[in-house]
Structure 1
């Protein structure tokens, strides 16, 4: 049986759908405010849609939809390293395929943590994989920590599993 654990949310049509609703709402509001001028309502609606879908969502996409999974041999992740890749994920989320990195291609990894609001507890935020070719892959952990149940167990498992697979004696921890 093949082991596979998944983390965070997968890309979906939700950002595109939300952008359409936002554009329609702004267009309707402009239509009403501008004395029922259809042309200006349509223009402001389209502009609002374009701003939301091409500027606002791409900026937050790696945090909102940074799904990744791990198996015995590989780590699968979505690459959002360029703006064009982020736009493709918004407009064609079902066509976006995950990239694969083998544990053999990983030089080392680091863990980035935050302190909670009280400053008492350190919370894992994301994992940075440093590949043999010099590139970095960022794997988000924060989404799993926000779900109910015992999310710390998922994060703890991921950190332990990757550490064991790479044979790392210790993990570099960075605090933001």
Structure 2
């Protein structure tokens, strides 16, 4: 049994950064009457801004694929900026980390409330070594059908695996 959540890491962030840099470079080249040097510098700076600052900031939310099996939870480790940049430039090399249920001390659900409706956003795992891992649920809630069933299932499954009697719920704004 295996169930996946969120989107898989791919080449799209790098490709989008290249397109953004090319578009800005071309715009500057045309704007400054075909100044090739200015166009190249602007394009390279735009590419670096997009790929080294903007995408790494949003990477865990945009490409935070994680999956759950009977024995482990697999997730992408985006704990440092360097790991995020490596994921953008080498997505095919980036491998998921596995955390066995025996290493999980407890977990909590992070939710928000809008118009009298509770929406889950993350599951936060607390590991025996003191670290915390956030697992994104928001992409699954955008699916058609009954995505709430996926969230209910994973909460029940983790609860049963950990023997935790109740789930801590944290509310965000």
TM-score range, shorter chain: over 0.9
Matches within 5 A, 1:1-176: 3-116=1-114, 119-176=115-172
The runs of 5 or more residues in structure 1 that have no matched partner are: none
- Tell me by how many angstroms 1:148 deviates: 1.2
Q: Distance in 1 between matches of 2:113 and 2:18?
A: 36
- Tell me by how many angstroms 1:88 deviates: 0.7
Q: Distance in 2 between matches of 1:153 and 1:20?
A: 38
What per-residue deviation string (whole Å, max 9, x for no partner) do you get for residues 132-163 of structure 1? 11111110001100111111111111111001
- Tell me by how many angstroms 1:120 deviates: 1.0
Structure 1 moving runs of 4+ over 4 Å: none
What per-residue deviation string (whole Å, max 9, x for no partner) do you get for residues 29-84 of structure 1? 00000111111001100000000000000000010000000000100000000000
TM-score by length of structure 2 reads 0.98
The runs of 5 or more residues in structure 2 that have no matched partner are: none
RMSD: 0.6
Q: Distance in 1 between matches of 2:78 and 2:132?
A: 12
